[in-house]
Amino acid sequence: MFRSAALRSLASVSRSRSIPIASRAFSTSRCIRNEALAPTSLDVFTEEEQMLREAVQRFAVDVVGPKVREMDENECMDPSIIKGLFEQGLMGIETSPDHGGAGCSFTSAIVVIEELAKIDPSVSVLCDVHNTLVNTVVRTYGTQEQKDKWLPLLAEKTLGSFCLSEPASGSDAFALQTRAKKEGDHYIINGSKMWITNSSEADFFLIFANVDPSKGYKGITCFIATKDMGIQIAKKEQKLGIRASSTCTLNFDDLKIPAENVLGGEGKGYKIAIEILNEGRIGIAAQMLGLAQGAFDKAVPYTYQRKQFGQPIGTFQGMQFQIAQAAVDLETARLLTYNAARRKEEGKPFTKEAAMAKYWSSQVAQRVAGSAIEWAGGVGFTRETGIEKYWRDSKIGAIYEGTSNIQLQTIARFIQKEYS
């Protein structure tokens, strides 16, 4: 495996430049694209980010690619893929090298998610949730003891899962019904979670539960739990798309969690959820962007190979206009996504930009993936080419980590605040 000749080189380049290492936090992580801090275009990357992109491209094509169809058909993630992600250093992208991570920028994580999604969005979302949700919460809100204990495991071998949604609390996440009761030096958790990504393979879980319902959302608390504490993995969903990514219902029956596993303080779970989902939406935007680009890259070459009426179908004006429009859509999604990522790194407000990126990228993914099937005709409709899988996978982009309507509502609130 090629774990990180690229990452080792990346680290050596950083040392030789004497670039100060910025703190990695929701609003303070910083990426210096040029030492003079002169304005640059949004698709300019540091040498480290570009090296990482190239390494992930090779891993995705050579290692993930041959297993995509089998994993989709079996609706199961190949364990060797998860192992490979850890071996490549892709499961602790922003985590400090002191804790076994790569110590890279937030945009590096976005680049990884995008590149993986070009080949398989299921693998991409596994990596996305682990990095932009699980790792970031522990890194940002954990005590020093919690970070020292858990971050090395999360960077090197232990897959994480983020447990917020419930049967009765999807978009209204703070209506959750899972309860936690303090008993001595432990909490007892009862309830259930639904639609939980990575839950079948994960051994580390961030569970949101309410310790005092009388306080409403201010009673919500985040807990660290491990599967061996007694988490019950119940129904595994059979889905339209991202089939290799596990999505399960979890049950907690008198789940006993040490008080030292409270993350961020009692009653602070709502703050954690709000902050992390803003960041996570940029990750989903990157996933949808990569998905759309993957479908485009598979279908467009076919239009110049397939001939009808004596010429390649891609040279007919009707087809040319469709392909050109898709290219424009891809570029707008790319710029929105990179802009949101850079704003986050630069410590600027990014909630509106993240919502815009997530909303638009999910729309573009559905449109481009659907068009890609039509460009390839009957061949595109078969599972042999893998083009139809991109369309199936694209539908989730408008649903998870905030539906499209939630994103539009968020954007509208910022507009109202600015103009009213």
- Residues 132 and 358: their CA atoms lie apart, in Å, by 14
Beta-carbon contacts of residue 354 (< 8 Å; ≥ 6 apart): 278, 279, 281, 282, 285, 340, 344
C-alpha gyration radius of the chain:
21
* Cβ neighbour number for residue 184 with a 10 Å cutoff: 7
* β-pair partners for 255: 189
CA 17 to chain centre: 30
Residue 401 annotated in active site: yes
Residues belonging to the chain: 420
- Residues 282 and 110: their CA atoms lie apart, in Å, by 8
Helix (H, G, I), strand (E, B) or coil at 90: coil
Angle between helices 47-59 and 5-17 (to 10 degrees): 180
- Give me the amino acid identity at 206: L
The pair of structure tokens assigned to 306 is: 């397939």
**What is the four-CA torsion angle of 64, 69, 70, 76, rounded to 10 degrees?**
80
Q: Where are the alpha helices (DSSP H) in 262-316?
A: 269-305
Q: Tell me which of 145, 374, 401, 418 is the catalytic residue.
A: 401
Helix (H, G, I), strand (E, B) or coil at 226: strand
- Residues 150 and 144: their CA atoms lie apart, in Å, by 10
Q: Are 144 and 299 in contact (CB under 8 A)?
A: no
- Residues 212 and 24: their CA atoms lie apart, in Å, by 31
- Residues 311 and 114: their CA atoms lie apart, in Å, by 34
CA 159 to chain centre: 14
Active-site residue list: 401
